[in-house]
Amino acid sequence: MNSEEKKLYDLAVEHLDTAYAPYSKFHVSAALLTESGKITTGVNIENAAYGSTICAERVAIFNYVNQGLTNDPIKCLLITGNTSRPISPCGSCRQVMAEFMQADTKIVLTNAKGDYKEATLADILPYYFTDGDLVDGRNK
C-alpha cells in the first residue's frame, strides 16, 4: 500500500462504525480516490427487506457519481471489513465497478487488522460485460 492508499485505508477504517448493518452485524467500508485527488466513501446500508441492502463499494461509487466526478477517473478503490482475510467484493459490486473503472484500475482489498491484497478490476472480474458489448450485440 502506498501513502495515498494508506490515507484511504485510515479513512475507511474510521468509517467502519458508520455502517448500518443491524441484521448481519457485518460492517463494510470503502473509499475511492480520483486522479485529481478527490475522495468519496461508503458503508453498507441494510434494510429490513434484506434485498434492498446496498454494499459499501456501491455507496462509495454512487457518491462519486452523485458528486459529478465521472470525468475525473477513479485511480483506486479500497475496501475494508472486520474479516480475517482481506475482504472481497460481491459480484454486483464488481459489475458496478466495471461501469465506472478501467480494467487496470487498482483495487485494494483489506481488513481492519491491516492485511491487504492489491488487485485490478480485470483480476477480480475477468471477461466482464461492458457498454461496448451492448453496442455490438444490438439488433439492427
Of 33 and 87, CB closest to ligand THU: 87
Is residue 57 within the footprint of ligand THU (CB under 6 A)? yes
Q: For residue 80, what is its C-alpha cell? A: 475494508
Is residue 86 within the footprint of ligand THU (CB under 6 A)? no
Strands across the sheet with 116-120, in order?
Answer: 39-43, 28-34, 74-81, 106-110, 116-120
CB of 94 within 8 A of CB of 64? no
Does the annotation count 118 as an active-site position? no
Contacts 24+ apart (CB under 8 A), 127-131: 128/94, 128/95, 128/98, 129/95, 129/98, 130/98, 131/99
Is residue 90 within the footprint of ligand THU (CB under 6 A)? yes
Q: Which of 47, 109, 100 is nearest to 75 (CA)?
A: 100
Is residue 21 within the footprint of ligand THU (CB under 6 A)? yes
Question: Given 5, 46, 57, 118, which residue is catalytic?
Answer: 57
Is residue 124 within the footprint of ligand THU (CB under 6 A)? no
Of 77 and 89, CB closest to ligand THU: 89
Is residue 55 within the footprint of ligand THU (CB under 6 A)? yes
Q: Which of 74, 80, 89, 96 binds ligand THU (CB under 6 A)?
A: 89
Instruction: Give the residue numbers annotated as catalytic, written as ranges.
Output: 57
